[in-house]
Amino acid sequence: MKTIIISTFAEDRIITDSGMKKRDGGPALFIKNFFDKAGLEYELISGEKAIVEIDMRNKKEIGKIKQVASIQYDPDKVKDSGLVLVSTLLKEFPLKAYGAFPCVDIQGYVRSATGFGKKKYFDSPELEKFAIIKGTENELRYVPISRMKGKNIVIKTKGAQGFDVISGGKEKYFTAKKVKSPNTIGAGDTFFAAFCTHYYKTRDIDRSALYAKEKVCEFLMQKSD
């Protein structure tokens, strides 16, 4: 069964104390890069390139979506797939659990378009249909995650403090490797892709967590200013 990625590319406008830099970005880029490097086959469904501002002044790393277009797709081409990864910037893809093993990074669904780092509550009956739900500790405060802990795998990332994996009512903590990197843009997307693909293949939480941690470490070590 085919693997589908539903995500968005972006032009990242990175704001620092010394000015603004423009770079290619968006979750689609980093997920695609992981798949390409791992030699995994996939079909990517995406819309027009978005524009994102990322404020990195004062040791922050918070984003604001300036422009994003809806993702147009044919449901018939998605519904019979196997692994499906959904990762958006806002709600450019109406949340729908397609495929035999749907996974979602909820970052875009709880993100508000009103300002840097702003969040808003999101709920949908579709959430409970996803095999894996990933978000930061802060993002997961904006979805009814307590309703899903028994049915789904919930991944709660905590940056340099590591991450929790919740499954079957049990929560397990994993440390993060300390890596010097100019920023962490794309690390969450890389983690999401690595964990989901490995778990889909192995159905082993511990091995998938360690694999994802290692791939994020490699990703961060290769970053440049």
Q: Tokens 């994003």 map to which residue?
A: 68
The vertex-21 CA angle with 15 and 22, nearest 5°, equals: 115
pTM, entire model: 0.94
Q: Tokens 């519904």 map to which residue?
A: 79
Predicted pLDDT of residue 130: 96
pLDDT of 59 strictly over 80: no
Predicted pLDDT of residue 149: 62
Predicted pLDDT of residue 225: 62
Q: Tokens 């968005």 map to which residue?
A: 8
pLDDT of 186 strictly over 90: yes
3-state secondary structure of 108: helix
* Domains: count for the chain: 1
- DSSP state letters, 2-31: --EEEE--EEEEEEETTEEEEEEESHHHHH
Q: How confident is the model at residue 5 (pLDDT cuts 50, 70, 90)?
A: very high
Is the distance from CB of 127 to CB of 140 less than 8 angstroms?
Answer: no
Average pLDDT over residues 77-96: 94
177 vs 109, more confident: 109
> Alpha carbon of 77 to those of 2, 32, 85, 90: distances in Å?
10, 19, 14, 23
Q: Mean pLDDT across the chain, nearest whole number?
A: 93
Q: How confident is the model at residue 198 (pLDDT cuts 50, 70, 90)?
A: very high
3-state secondary structure of 187: helix
Average pLDDT over residues 187-208: 98
Query: What range defines the domain where residue 175 resides?
Result: 4-221
Predicted pLDDT of residue 62: 83
Q: What is the CATH number of the domain that holds 185?
A: 3.40.1190.20
> For residues 85 and 220, what is the distance between their CA atoms, to the nearest angstrom?
22
Average pLDDT over residues 161-165: 97
pLDDT of 224 strictly over 80: no
Residues forming a β-bridge with 85: 5, 103
Average pLDDT over residues 73-91: 93
> For residues 15 and 154, what is the distance between their CA atoms, to the nearest angstrom?
32
Q: In degrees rounded to 5, what are phi and psi of residue 212?
A: -65, -40
Q: How confident is the model at residue 114 (pLDDT cuts 50, 70, 90)?
A: confident
